[in-house]
């Protein structure tokens, strides 16, 4: 009797490019997602849209000049992250108002550049579709270094970050360099947004940065548990989403987003039952 042919759907992980993509996504889910706690706590959700539009402008300029658009997007995102972090401390405007200024200006300038250099808009927007399978070994190293940097900063400056999140005025009174901590967090956020655009694309960047933190915070009892739970949810959603995509031949980014939403719903249901 002939046995049915069984296909090992995990065998693609033996291919280096697939393996790089898997580990890169899991590393990002476990470490870069920690910044989601900062975004939600500081109510900076709108900043991700701003940085996406800024990246669009950077890509348009460098593509018009015949250079690497991804590099231009990364450089401009980092520069604007520094500017927003600095302006938030110097002028009497909320960070959301400052974000709106940069988002609107970047979008307008991007279309002017596209028109001036006759660059096709779809070529630019295609960059932000994201494709984790294009992740090179060098990209994987960058993701790992950024993740280790984020974890290290949370470890060594845990008390300072906790005070800034709890009460900025109290932190200033206690001698915490609030401005520097804030600037450092904005830099990390900018770098993480640029990396996330590369991994999953603009439309699904929340699945990597926000969803794990959103699932963790309702269950967390403090900053420490929020960070640990965010990392766990990030690893679970990215690894599960990747394997589901591999098993059923689905887009990786979309699969990770759906799995992340599932964990968020489970977290909210669990919190509701716990309250009752």
CATH 2.40.50.220 for domain 14-270: no
User: In this structure, are residues 45 and 203 in contact, taking their beta carbons and an 8 Å threshold?
Assistant: no
Residue 119 has pLDDT above 80, yes or no: no
pLDDT tens digits for range 135-163:
778 878 888 999 999 999 999 999 999 88
Cα 41 to Cα 264: distance, rounded to the nearest angstrom: 17
Average pLDDT, the chain: 83
Q: How high is the pLDDT of residue 241?
A: 93
User: pTM to 2 decimals?
Assistant: 0.85
Mean pLDDT of 174-187: 86
Distances (CA, A) of 137 to 18, 22, 199, 233, 266: 11, 12, 13, 25, 34
Residue 268 has pLDDT above 50, yes or no: yes
pLDDT tens digits for range 44-64:
777 878 888 888 888 888 888
**Domain residue ranges in the chain:** 14-270
Residue 36 has pLDDT above 70, yes or no: yes
Distances (CA, A) of 122 to 119, 125, 138, 243: 9, 5, 27, 30
Residue 198 has pLDDT above 80, yes or no: no
Residue 31 has pLDDT above 90, yes or no: yes
Residue 37 has pLDDT above 90, yes or no: yes
Q: How high is the pLDDT of residue 232?
A: 97
Of 15-24, 71-80, 200-209, the range with the lowest mean pLDDT is 200-209
């Amino acid at each position: 009797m002939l046995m049915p042919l069984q296909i090992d759907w995990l065998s693609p992980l033996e291919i280096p490019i697939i393996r790089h993509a898997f580990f890169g996504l899991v590393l990002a889910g476990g470490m870069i997602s920690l910044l989601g706690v900062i975004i939600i706590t500081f109510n900076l959700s709108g900043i991700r849209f701003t940085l996406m539009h800024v990246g669009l402008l950077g890509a348009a300029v460098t593509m018009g000049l015949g250079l690497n658009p991804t590099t231009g997007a990364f450089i401009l995102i980092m520069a604007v992250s520094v500017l927003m972090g600095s302006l938030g401390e110097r002028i009497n405007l909320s960070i959301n108002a400052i974000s709106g200024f940069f988002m609107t200006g970047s979008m307008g300038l991007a279309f002017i550049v596209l028109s001036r250099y006759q660059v096709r808009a779809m070529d630019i927007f295609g960059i932000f579709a994201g494709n984790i399978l294009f992740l090179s070994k060098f990209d994987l190293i960058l993701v790992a270094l950024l993740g280790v940097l984020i974890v290290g900063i949370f470890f060594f400056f845990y008390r300072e970050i906790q005070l800034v999140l709890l009460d900025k005025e109290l932190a200033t009174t206690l001698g915490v360099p609030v401005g520097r901590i804030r600037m450092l967090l904005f830099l990390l956020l900018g770098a993480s947004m640029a990396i996330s655009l590369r991994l999953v694309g603009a439309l699904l960047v929340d699945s990597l940065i926000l969803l794990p933190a959103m699932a963790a915070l309702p269950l967390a009892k403090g900053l420490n548990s929020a960070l640990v739970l965010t990392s766990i949810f990030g690893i679970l959603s990215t690894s599960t989403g990747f394997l589901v995509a591999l098993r059923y031949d689905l887009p990786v980014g979309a699969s990770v987003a759906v799995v992340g939403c599932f964990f968020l719903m489970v977290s909210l249901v669990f919190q509701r039952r716990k309250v009752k």
